[in-house]
Amino acid sequence: MVAKPCSDPPPWLCPLHRGPVGESIVIYPEVVPGNPLGARKVIRWVLNDPGLLGGQTFYSDYEMVFVYDPQKLPVVNRSLSRGIGRDRVLWTGLVDPSVIYPDASVTRTIDCSFTHKGRALSQRFPLPHANILRLEDLTASFRDLGDTLRKTKVLYSYDHYSNVLREAVICGCDVRVIGEDGVWHDPRTCGCPLNILWQPDLLATYADHFNSSDFIIPFVRTVETRWPVRSIRLPSPAARTAGRAARQRTGPRAG
C-alpha cells in the first residue's frame, strides 16, 4: 500500500511501501485519473461506474481491472477493449462490527436523511416530513455513524448505491431510498438497476466478512496470471487476534 505520510497511521494489517514504486504493483481506485505514481504494473479497482465520481471512462490494456461489485461487470466491460469475468471480482467486507452493530437497548428517537451521490434527486423530491436530520451533519467520525444509526428510526437515502444502507440495516434502521419515479421504497426488495448487492445472510455474516482474509489468495493467484507477486510475511492468526482485541479496547479511530 502506498499512503501519504502521517504521524498516526491507522491500525491496518497492511504493509506500507516507502521509496520508489519500481516493480511494485500499484492498485488505484477508479476515481484516480491515469497513473500518477508512474507504475509499470497497474491494477484498477473499480468500485462504481467508470467516470461517475471521477477518473477515466475507459481503461488502458496495460491495466489489470478488477471490480468490487459483480453487478458492475457489464458497465465496466464497456470501458475495456476486452471484457472480464467473475474472476476479476475483488469483494471485501467493509462493515466494521466494532462500530456498526444493533443494540436493542438504545431508544430510537430521530429520523435521518442521507444525500451523498443523490444530490440531483434531493433537489427534485422533498423529504416526507420536516423533522428529519441530515446524517452527514451528525457523523463527524465513524463512531458517530454507528451511534447515530442506532438511534435512528427511519433513514431516508437519496443515494441508492452506498454502503451506508447496509450499515443502517445492520443497526436496525428502517431504510428507504428513492428512484426516478419519486417513490420511497425498501432497497432490499426493489428491482432498481442501481442498487447495492444485498446478501440474504447479511446480519449473520458481516462481522466474519470484515475480519476475513479469504479473498487475498484468490486475488493474488489471479494477479499472478499476468505478473509475479512478491511474497510478504503476514501476521499469524494469533497476532491478528491480539491486534483485533487491542483495537476493541481502544475503540476505532475517527474517519
Rounded Cα–Cα distance for residues 26 and 225 (Å): 16
Confidence of residue 248 (pLDDT cuts 50, 70, 90): low
| Whether residue 77 sits in one domain with residue 114 | no
pLDDT at 251: 46
Range of 8's domain?
1-92+215-232+248-255
pLDDT of residue 81: 97
- pLDDT at residue 140 above 70? yes
For residues 147 and 191, membership in a common domain is answered with: yes
d(CA 77, CA 51): 13
The reply to whether 114 and 200 lie within a common domain is yes
Within-domain flag for 133? yes
The answer on 148 and 85 residing in a single domain is no
pLDDT digits 0-9 by tens, 36-45: 999 999 999 9
Do residues 79 and 160 share a domain? no
* 114 and 190 both lie in a single domain: yes
What are the pLDDT digits (tens) for 86-139?
999 999 999 999 999 999 999 999 999 999 999 999 999 999 888 999 999 999
168 shares a domain with 222: no
Phi, psi for 238 (deg, rounded to 5): -65, -40
169-228 pLDDT per residue, tens:
999 999 999 999 999 999 999 989 889 999 999 999 999 999 998 999 999 999 999 999
Tell whether 17 and 42 lie within a shared domain: yes
Is there a single domain that holds both residue 83 and residue 140?
no
Q: Check whether residue 42 and residue 86 sit in a common domain.
A: yes
Q: Are residues 121 and 79 in the same domain?
A: no
Question: For position 20, what pLDDT does the model report?
Answer: 86
Q: Which helix (H) or strand (E) holds 67?
A: strand 63-67
- Considering its fold, how many domains does the chain have in total? 2
